[in-house]
Structure 1
């Protein structure tokens, strides 16, 4: 979704930045890369699988940050997701969507831990703000607050579906696989969420 609303949502959701090698997630990534190379050499997994898992880490971190509001907690979620993906690598069906498979694991880990999706994007320790090179001006801050307030008012299922498609970058088919619902339901939820947001924002 590349329209104005999509762009504003993209700006609203913070990025987690790079993974430092000396962090818990960084160490897991180093071990996972080595394990994937060994598994590829032994033909346990394909090169596409290994490359794909590593390439999706930034998107997984951003989605985890959206759900938790805290970089440390988000990285723990991603770490758990990668470990589970490694343990269950034989269950991945080649030719299916790796994105949907990993995001399903991430979503299940979050739901099992919290039983619900948090509604607000939080920044307890200032780590998110530190990733931005320049502070938002007052006008930008007011616009982001208005968008966040409008987003909070969208029903949870519609909100999560919209964010999977607009921010996490999943296709409607991938989002449907993650959410366990028909593609038509995803399209309806995204459309309804967009309508609620544009109505709330007076656009």
Structure 2
């Protein structure tokens, strides 16, 4: 079985470089572990190896559910309604996700909460804006940087623009990527990968 680029990079390191890698990851490991702890204490369901900012963790509640190995780089997520984020998801910095609005045709301007499901292997790139009219971003979809997402996104669809429109269909998902490694949150995976090297 062939090794991934991540595995090759780590398993081919000298012992010195391996320990340098541990040192570089330690601070981030404690930061993200604490963030996960805080979010869970506030009622959120957070999977293993999730990377999320402490500012998001502090405002988390039972409406936040995140699978495993996802990287969340924003705290601009509206948690007044349920937000379900799958595994191996990447949500970039400055991304804003709104889950609630008002009924504009109502004389009482009634409040309405909707919620959203973001499936596995989705990438929502930097400063995309997801409106409450979008209730689902399907498996493996990509929302380009700055996209204004106004409706549901089909699985494996690549969208861009304002409003965001379908550009193409994605060829494959980022299945070989260790998503927590993008922000240095992969200490446990790093050690496990090193220990699997061929003697």
- Asked whether the two chains share a fold, i.e. TM above 0.5, the reply is no
From the CA coordinates, give the structure whose radius of gyration is larger. 2
Higher RCO, 1 vs 2 (CA within 8 Å, ≥6 residues apart): 1
Which one has a larger percent helix, Structure 1 or Structure 2? 1
Task: State TM-score, norm by structure 2.
Answer: 0.31
Task: State TM-score, norm by structure 1.
Answer: 0.30
Which one has a larger percent strand, Structure 1 or Structure 2? 2
